[in-house]
Each structure stands twice: as structure tokens, then as C-alpha cells.
């Protein structure tokens, strides 16, 4: 059976995505969904309506359209909470993206709870957004950063993680799914390990949220960050989820309108979460478009998406393995992401030639330079699948690789 059989026919799904053709109408083989997903027409339409006939500010207007927009904005928050299995909508904070979500935790919770001599544990495969904010906390507080190694096939080594725990470990921050290798973390096991010494667990869920069913209680984490634009929604919006009691104890991060209870020159009191962490005019239209994106993904089913994309990744790995000049990175089973290198061909050269064949991949360090150092390469080529991907994309990629090998001899 075709791996694409887990979803409706690819042509039917692709028809929902106006960006999946070139300027002259030819199919565009988009294999860079791990960087950002293409947008279905339903999301584009929701954004257009929100910016057009429905547009108004939220929360403070007494006129009808503002009230309706407020209902739409808060409905998006409830939809996110439902989608990720949160206990309630008050645990959902809208931010500009996952990078901002992690920085919010670092600046608010981290600076209040992490001190000199405390330890922060990261892994070798983290995205820079889950490294640099914690380095900044460590520099300011005198905390130490420990780096968990990987297994031979590129997974976070949970045995090593457990051995690294100390009474001074305050936070473990890990990728739920690697943006380079596609390896999937056993999040519940990681949570149990962190909690065994009283540490909190933060998960970077950017690559998991678009293709995995989420349940915060089942995962057992304390913070979860995700990005809207990787979830087939717009740029400029992301989500921070945190346990209600943790959010309630966290100090504000940014000051301004909307996040206050009462302001006087003598003293300001703050709104409860999530509004405490949403200073200024909210991310209104983006939230409404994210709601539409979640509805689209949920209708197809995250479990089906994972099976579809993992199947395509498995098929591509099998094809690439047959080429003697190709080195594959990461585990055999991955969440729709395949990183590889071709002997004698820089990934940027490969990407340029593939572009001439209407194939789009990512070439570079993927904001994971420590992982590149660990792998012993300056960069990799990365093909990442989405819900609109099918075997035709793999065939086009392989044709482009064959042409590249002929060019480079």
C-alpha cells in the first residue's frame, strides 16, 4: 500500500494549498516543511477576513465588531488548549513564536528560579532557540549548563540524561522532535527523569505539534512551546503552554497595556495569566488564522499525518541508502525529516541545482550548529515532508540528486 494512502489523495490535499505550484503553474516539490509549512486556503481566507470585514481591536472596545473579534480571539485560545490537551485556556499564552515562548520562560521563570550553582540540562540536538536563552540565563545567574549526549542513531540518550541529574538541576529543556534528525523524544520518560530531582521540563514542540497528537497531561512536561507557521498557520504567532500554578507564580516579562490590573505611579498590579504575559495589542488576526490551521490539521488527524510523513521519510531513506555517495543522519524511524550529505557536493550546491528542478529543500546548519559539530559536518541537506507531500516529491528529489551527481562527476 502507498504511504500516501493514510491521507486523502495527495492531489486533493495539494489543491487546498495555492503555494504548491510554480509561477508558471508547474508542480512545486516543497520539501522544507520543517522550516515553515505552506498554508491551506482556509487559513488564508481566515486571515483575509480577520484583516478585512471582521477587523477590530479586542478586549476593550464597547462596539459590536470589537466584541465579536474578542470572541474570535479567545475562541482561538480555547481551540489551542483543546488541540494540545491543556487543562484549560488560561494555560495558553499567545506569543510571536516558539523562540519568544522559550525566551519568556527563561526571562520570567528562569531568572526567578535559577541561581548560582544551579544546573540547566540541554541536549546535543537542540535548536539555537533552546540553547541561547539558557546561556543568557546562565551568564546572568552563575548557573551551569550540562549537555546530554545522543545515542548512536541520533536520539536523546535518556540513560545519560538520568545519570546527569543532580539536586541542583533546575530545568531540563529538550526538543520533542529534532528539527534536523526527526528523532522523537520519549517525553514522558524525560519528564519523569527531570521530576525525580525536582526539576522542570520544557519541551520545544515546533516539529511535533504539526504531526503528533498532543496531550500535556500525558507528556508530563511543565512548559511546551510551539510555532504557528510550522502548524500550517501564519507567521508571527506561537504558543507557550505552562501549568496553571507555574504561570500564576511567574512575574511579568514585558510591561504595557493589557497585562495590568491597576496602574498608579506608586504601584502597578498585574492581570492574572495568560493576560499577564500578553502586553500590548494582542496578536489578533494571527490567532484567528491559527484557529483555522488547527481545525484543518485536526480534521485530517495528527496520527494519520505522522504515519504519512514518517512513511515518506522511510521511503526516502531507503532510496538514498542505495546511493553509495550518500551519508544519512539520524534514526531509521523519524517524524518526516531526513538529513543527508552527498560526498563531494556541498548542501548549498545541491539545493541550488534542485531549485532548478522545482524541488525545494533546506541546506545549512538548520540553527543547530552544535549538532553539526557533533556530526562532523558544516551543514546537511534536509528534506522534510508535510501533509501535502507524496511519492512524486521523492521522485523529483532523486532526479535532482542524479543530475547533481552528473554535474559534479
Cite the active site residues. 367
145 close to 138: Cβ distance less than 8 angstroms: yes
Nearest residue to 122 via CA among 156, 81, 76, 88: 156
Say how far apart CA 304 and CA 117 lie, in whole Å: 45
Nearest residue to 10 via CA among 32, 24, 30, 36: 30
Say how far apart CA 120 and CA 135 lie, in whole Å: 9
Q: Which residues contact 358 (CB under 8 A, 6 or more apart)?
A: 22, 26, 27, 28, 29, 396
SS3 state of residue 73: helix
Rg, C-alpha atoms of the chain: 22
Say how far apart CA 231 and CA 234 lie, in whole Å: 8
Say how far apart CA 113 and CA 171 lie, in whole Å: 9
Say how far apart CA 131 and CA 173 lie, in whole Å: 9
- Please return the burial class of 272, using the count of CB atoms within 10 Å of its CB with bins 0-12, 13-18 and 19+: exposed
Nearest residue to 237 via CA among 250, 246, 247, 227: 227
The H-assigned helical ranges of 25-63 are: 41-51
Amino acid at each position: 500500500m502507498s504511504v500516501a494512502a493514510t491521507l486523502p489523495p495527495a492531489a486533493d490535499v495539494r489543491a487546498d494549498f495555492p503555494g504548491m505550484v510554480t509561477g508558471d503553474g508547474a508542480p512545486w516539490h516543497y520539501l522544507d516543511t520543517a522550516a515553515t509549512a505552506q498554508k491551506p486556503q482556509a487559513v488564508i481566507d481566515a486571515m483575509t477576513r480577520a484583516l478585512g470585514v471582521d477587523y477590530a481591536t479586542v478586549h476593550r472596545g464597547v462596539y459590536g465588531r470589537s466584541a465579536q473579534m474578542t470572541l474570535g480571539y479567545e475562541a482561538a485560545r480555547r481551540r489551542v488548549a483543546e488541540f494540545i490537551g491543556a487543562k484549560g485556556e488560561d494555560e495558553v499564552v499567545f506569543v510571536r513564536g516558539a523562540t519568544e515562548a522559550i525566551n519568556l520562560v527563561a526571562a520570567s521563570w528562569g531568572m526567578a528560579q535559577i541561581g548560582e550553582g544551579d544546573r540547566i540540562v540541554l541536549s546535543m540536538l537542540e535548536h539555537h532557540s533552546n540553547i541561547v536563552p539558557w546561556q543568557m540565563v546562565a551568564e546572568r545567574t552563575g548557573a551551569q549548563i550540562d549537555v546530554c549526549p545522543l545515542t548512536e542513531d541520533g536520539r536523546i540518550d535518556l540513560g545519560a540524561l538520568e545519570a546527569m541529574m543532580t539536586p541542583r538541576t533546575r530545568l531540563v529543556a529538550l526538543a520533542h522532535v529534532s528539527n534536523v534528525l526527526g528523532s522523537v523524544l520519549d517525553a514522558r520518560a524525560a519528564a519523569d527523569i527531570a521530576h525525580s530531582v525536582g526539576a522542570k521540563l520544557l519541551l520545544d514542540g515546533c516539529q511535533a505539534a504539526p504531526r503528533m497528537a498532543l496531550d500535556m497531561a500525558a507528556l508530563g512536561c511543565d512548559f511546551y512551546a510551539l510555532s504557528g507557521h510550522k502548524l500550517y498557520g501564519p507567521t508571527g504567532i506561537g504558543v507557550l503552554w505552562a501549568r496553571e500554578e507555574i504561570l500564576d507564580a511567574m512575574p511579568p516579562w514585558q510591561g504595557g497595556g493589557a497585562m495590568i490590573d491597576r496602574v498608579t505611579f506608586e504601584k502597578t498590579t498585574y492581570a492574572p495569566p495568560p493576560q499577564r504575559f500578553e502586553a500590548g495589542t494582542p496578536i489578533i488576526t494571527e490567532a484567528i488564522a491559527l484557529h483555522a490551521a488547527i481545525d484543518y490539521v485536526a480534521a485530517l488527524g495528527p496520527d494519520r499525518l505522522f504515519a504519512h510523513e514518517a512513511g515518506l521519510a522511510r521511503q526516502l531513506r531507503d532510496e538514498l541508502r542505495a546511493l553509495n555517495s550518500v551519508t544519512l543522519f539520524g534514526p531509521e524511524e523519524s517524524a518526516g525529516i531526513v538529513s543527508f550529505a552527498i560526498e563531494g557536493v556541498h548542501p548549498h550546491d545541491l539545493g541550488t541545482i534542485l531549485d532548478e528542478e522545482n524541488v525545494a529543500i533546506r541546506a545549512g546548519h538548520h540553527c543547530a550548529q552544535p549538532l553539526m559539530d557533533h556530526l562532523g559536518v558544516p551543514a546537511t541537506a534536509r528534506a522534510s515532508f508535510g501533509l501535502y507531500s507524496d511519492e512524486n516529491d521523492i521522485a523529483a528529489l532523486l532526479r535532482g540528486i542524479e543530475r547533481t551527481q552528473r554535474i559534479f562527476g
